[in-house]
Structure 1
Amino acid sequence: MKKLINDPKNVVDESVEGFGLAHGDLVEVTPDPLFVSRAGGATTGRVGLVSGGGSGHEPLHAGFVGYGMLTAAVPGAVFTSPTPDPIVAATLKADGGAGVLHIVKNYTGDVLNFETAADLADAEGVRVVSVIVDDDVAVKDSLYTAGRRGVAGTVVVEKCAGAAAERGDDLDAVAAVATKVNSVTRTMGVALTAGIVPHAGEPSFTLPEDEIEIGIGIHGEPGRERIKLESADAIVDRMLAPILEDLPFSSGDRVLLFVNGMGGTPLVEQYIVYRHAAKVLADRGIEVTRTLVGNYVTSLEMQGVSITLTKLDDELTDLWDAPVETAALRWGR
Structure 2
Amino acid sequence: MKKILNSKETIIDDLIAGFIAAENGRVAQSDQNSRVLYRNKKIANKVGIVSGGGSGHEPLFLGLLGENLVDAVAIGNIFAAPTPGTVCEAIKQADQGAGVVCLFGNYAGDVLNFDMGVDLAAMEDILAINIPISDDVASAPKELKAERRGIAGDLFVIKEVAAAAAKGYSLEECVRIGKEANEKIFSIGVGIASGTNPMNGKKNFDLAEDEIEFGLGIHGEPGIEKMKIVGAEELTNRMYDVVKQEVEETGEKEVIICINGLGSTTCLELYIVNNEVNKRLISEGYTIHDTLIGSVCTTQEMAGFSITIQAVTSELKELYDLDAYSSCYFHKEDY
TM over 0.5: yes
How has the CA–CA distance of structure 1 residues 146 and 289 changed in structure 2, closer, same or farther, with 3 Å as cutoff? closer
Paired with 1:174 and 1:252, the residues of 2 have a C-alpha distance of 21
The corresponding residue for 1:15 is: 15
Equivalence map 1:77-156=2 (5 Å): 77-140=77-140, 147-156=147-156
Q: Contact (CA 8 Å) 1:212, 1:227: kept in 2 or not?
A: yes
SS at 1:241 equivalent: helix
How has the CA–CA distance of structure 1 residues 250 and 160 changed in structure 2, closer, same or farther, with 3 Å as cutoff? closer
**Is 1:43 aligned with 2:21?**
no
Paired with 1:115 and 1:329, the residues of 2 have a C-alpha distance of 28
1:38-66 Cα deviation digits (max 9, x unpaired): 123x3211000101110111111110011
Paired with 2:175 and 2:101, the residues of 1 have a C-alpha distance of 7
The corresponding residue for 2:74 is: 74
The corresponding residue for 1:34 is: 35
1:53-100 Cα deviation digits (max 9, x unpaired): 101111111100111111111110110001011111111011000000
Paired with 1:133 and 1:176, the residues of 2 have a C-alpha distance of 13
Structure 1: state its 5+ residue gaps.
none
SS at 1:257 equivalent: strand
Equivalence map 1:189-268=2 (5 Å): 189-248=189-248, 253-268=253-268
Q: Contact (CA 8 Å) 1:195, 1:300: kept in 2 or not?
A: yes
Amino acid at match of 2:285: G
TM-superposed CA distance for 1:136, in Å, is 0.6
1:169-200 Cα deviation digits (max 9, x unpaired): 01010111111110000000000111100112
Paired with 1:127 and 1:53, the residues of 2 have a C-alpha distance of 20
Paired with 2:108 and 2:184, the residues of 1 have a C-alpha distance of 22
Which runs of structure 1 show a deviation greater than 6 angstroms over 4 or more consecutive aligned residues?
none
Q: Contact (CA 8 Å) 2:325, 2:331: kept in 1 or not?
A: yes
Q: Contact (CA 8 Å) 2:247, 2:311: kept in 1 or not?
A: no
Amino acid at match of 2:12: V
Paired with 2:313 and 2:4, the residues of 1 have a C-alpha distance of 43
Amino acid at match of 1:326: S
TM-superposed CA distance for 1:29, in Å, is 2.4
TM-superposed CA distance for 1:202, in Å, is 2.5
TM-superposed CA distance for 1:24, in Å, is 2.5
1:96-146 Cα deviation digits (max 9, x unpaired): 0000001121100000000000001011010111111111100219xxx98
Percent same amino acid among aligned pairs? 36
SS at 1:175 equivalent: helix
Paired with 2:96 and 2:44, the residues of 1 have a C-alpha distance of 4
- Normalization by structure 1: what TM-score? 0.95
Paired with 2:297 and 2:165, the residues of 1 have a C-alpha distance of 23
TM-superposed CA distance for 1:250, in Å, is 8.1
Paired with 2:26 and 2:183, the residues of 1 have a C-alpha distance of 30
Q: Give the superposed CA RMSD.
A: 1.7
Count of matched residue pairs: 329
Q: Contact (CA 8 Å) 2:184, 2:250: kept in 1 or not?
A: no
How has the CA–CA distance of structure 1 residues 22 and 314 changed in structure 2, closer, same or farther, with 3 Å as cutoff? same
SS at 2:205 equivalent: coil
Paired with 2:315 and 2:251, the residues of 1 have a C-alpha distance of 20
Structure 2: state its 5+ residue gaps.
none
How has the CA–CA distance of structure 1 residues 251 and 116 changed in structure 2, closer, same or farther, with 3 Å as cutoff? closer
Q: Contact (CA 8 Å) 2:254, 2:312: kept in 1 or not?
A: yes
Amino acid at match of 1:221: E
Paired with 1:255 and 1:225, the residues of 2 have a C-alpha distance of 28
Amino acid at match of 1:67: E
Amino acid at match of 1:301: E
Amino acid at match of 2:211: E
Paired with 1:275 and 1:251, the residues of 2 have a C-alpha distance of 24
Amino acid at match of 2:284: R
Q: Contact (CA 8 Å) 1:257, 1:292: kept in 2 or not?
A: yes
Paired with 2:139 and 2:150, the residues of 1 have a C-alpha distance of 11
The corresponding residue for 1:273 is: 273
1:217-267 Cα deviation digits (max 9, x unpaired): 011100001000100111111111111122435897110011011011010
The corresponding residue for 1:175 is: 175
Which stretch has the larger CA shift, 29-38 or 98-107?
A: 29-38
The corresponding residue for 2:301 is: 301
- Normalization by structure 2: what TM-score? 0.95
Q: Contact (CA 8 Å) 1:251, 1:285: kept in 2 or not?
A: no
Paired with 2:176 and 2:301, the residues of 1 have a C-alpha distance of 34
TM-superposed CA distance for 1:206, in Å, is 0.6
SS at 2:57 equivalent: coil
SS at 1:125 equivalent: coil
The corresponding residue for 2:290 is: 290
Amino acid at match of 1:290: D
